[in-house]
Amino acid sequence: MGITKRGNKRVERALKKWQDDIIDEIKRIIRNTTLLLEKELKARMPHETGEMADSITVTFDADGYGAKLEIGAFYAIYVNYGTGIYAQGPGGSRAKKIPWVYFNTRWGRFVLTHGQRAQFFWEQAVDEASDYFIKEFRKLGK
């Protein structure tokens, strides 16, 4: 025997509710993952002045399916990967390998440097957020 008309409507409503719940959960996971990434970055990055952490901006797509996190401080990549003889990661092999002099406005004098060591913060924060994202999505399938 077939499913009655009434049964079809009940199943249809249940499926619609399940679909809406799943969509809401996906949006929640995307939002929480992005906010976790922001929190982890701020906790892991060096805070000499706090300017780099303050330059982080987060925007969410209107539909809730996407997010963008940006670090506005132009020097964040140099802090993360190092400079000069200490450079690692993107461009590290092409980095300046000799000492150079620059004027440090904070100290009011010229400084001789060979570069700065990498202070990794990006990869660990992304790994933490990625683990959360995967764990939460796996829960959806259960």
Indicate if the alpha-carbon torsion angle 94, 98, 101, 107 is positive or negative. Answer: positive
Mean pLDDT score of the chain, rounded to an integer?
A: 88
Per-residue pLDDT, averaged over 91-101, amounts to 70
Q: Is the pTM of this model over 0.85?
A: no
Query: Helical H runs in 1-142?
Result: 5-44, 51-54, 76-81, 122-140
Q: Alpha-carbon distance 79 to 17, whole Å?
A: 47
Beta bridge partners of 102: 111
Query: Tokens in use for 121?
Result: 């913060």
pLDDT tier at 1, thresholds 50, 70, 90: very low
- pLDDT per residue as tens digits for the range 62-87: 999 999 999 999 999 999 999 888 88
The pLDDT score that the predictor gives to residue 15 is 73
Which residue has tokens 């620059």? 102
